[in-house]
Structure 1
């Protein structure tokens, strides 16, 4: 079996990944994750710069991903293909949370006439695992799989509030806040106060911190033993009403949904 070169061995030891960690697999996944809404297609050089890897390494990773059907090459440009959805489909299909929450989000969205979503925490980000929107909205895209910073979203704050204090502090310490809108709170002390308030109130309301012109209200979803496993959200564009109207109109409904779901979430 080929031995690690000194640089790879040193990096692995420093990272604490252990002897069974596959550098090649990690690099391939990093290449996949480099693509996104603002980087829909890239050249080899752009991908290499994004993932901070040698061009030769990225070339081999891209070639492998093209052969496997996850990436398409058009001239000098590379882009993801629908084949990558097979990776997400495995998670969504095997994850009981998604199966339970997707129809609930669709039903709730139809009732209130506003977008409704559910998310879980992945490090310092939230990942949407269910999403519903009113039929009157012509946007045909889905937010399932979308990732956003946890610190400035209503879903994220209730999920962070559900962590043990030391774990929450570790997450925040590793990921300094970055502004998404002019309203995004960046002061670490005030961010922690808002998370603490979400914990004591049992909900979080975020006003245009994650998206300009959009407010969001979220409650934690707890399983039968009280552990927070996801969060449920209703969003509203600012022209539809005030933050107070959002809270007073939808918080009782969200709490009722959370109570109903408690016995279904494992």
Structure 2
């Protein structure tokens, strides 16, 4: 059966992500407005999430409960491999640019951490852990190109009509991405950011994340050379953090 979004699941995820992005927490009315849903429907979902420990309520405001963190501690491959901030800091120093680590979350790319020079757009996306379509970012392309074809095409089929052109562009770039193990974003997502990414592989060779190196437009002509530097740096530094050399 084809994998498709489900409205109830989407709403549950929407609640968790909205609450996670709000330091003060959100009221039921604010959640309903965010989800464009009836308060009664949202309340049923929040009650269930409260009962299972995925939300907590304080002064009528919802916050993340311990549930999501327990799941991450049990199953997150990045945590298990101790891919900590020091890895990014070392890469940033070697490459002399901003670096970001992105992970696949369903059909989206989420930046989990970054190091290096501040970039208003990129660092904002990294700090908020905002979802980006896989086929629009350098890191997302690197991850999408690393999955089996059946899974890759399933993910591409989830793209809306407004994203069809970007999906086709990804397919046009796919042979080069796979042959070079490098994916590029030349000022498409953000006009002031140019990035190149390569997948990060676990010891068994499976992709667990992607690392991006980003520069501003003044250094755009450096991007191809930067990609090769990135691959070499990951090959040298990666094994210290449990990553495959490939």
| TM-score normalised according to structure 2 size | 0.72
Residues 218 and 89 (structure 1), Cα distance of their counterparts in 2 relative to 1, 3 Å cut: farther
Residues 221 and 26 (structure 1), Cα distance of their counterparts in 2 relative to 1, 3 Å cut: closer
Residues 41 and 94 (structure 1), Cα distance of their counterparts in 2 relative to 1, 3 Å cut: closer
In structure 2, list runs of 5 or more residues that go unmatched.
Answer: none
Q: Tell me whether 1:166 sits opposite 2:150 in the alignment.
A: yes
Residues 158 and 110 (structure 1), Cα distance of their counterparts in 2 relative to 1, 3 Å cut: same
1:252 aligns with 228
* Aligned positions, number: 230
1:109 aligns with 92
Quick one: distance in 1 between partners of 2:174 and 2:185? 11
2:200 aligns with 221
1:127 aligns with 110
Quick one: distance in 2 between partners of 1:206 and 1:111? 21
Residues 227 and 171 (structure 1), Cα distance of their counterparts in 2 relative to 1, 3 Å cut: same
1:195 aligns with 174
Bigger relative contact order, structure 1 or 2, given CA contacts below 8 A and separation 6+?
2
1:118 aligns with 101
Quick one: distance in 2 between partners of 1:34 and 1:144? 10
In structure 1, list runs of 5 or more residues that go unmatched.
Answer: 1-14, 17-22, 180-184
Q: Deviations over 1:19-43 (max 9, x none)?
A: xxxx7x98554422345769x9876
CA drift at 1:178: 4.9
Comparing both structures, which one devotes a greater share of its residues to helix? 2
Measured on the aligned residues, the alpha-carbon RMSD in Å equals 4.0
2:141 aligns with 157
1:91 aligns with 72
CA drift at 1:190: 2.3
Choose from 177, 183, 186 the match for 1:204: 183
Does the 8 A contact of 1:44 with 1:58 survive in 2? yes
Residues 252 and 177 (structure 1), Cα distance of their counterparts in 2 relative to 1, 3 Å cut: farther
| TM-score normalised according to structure 1 size | 0.67
2:17 aligns with 33
Q: Deviations over 1:239-264 (max 9, x none)?
A: 3x12x31221x223211233232582
CA drift at 1:172: 0.5
Quick one: distance in 2 between partners of 1:178 and 1:35? 28
Range with greater deviation from structure 2 (188-197 or 149-158): 188-197
Does the 8 A contact of 2:21 with 2:128 survive in 1? no
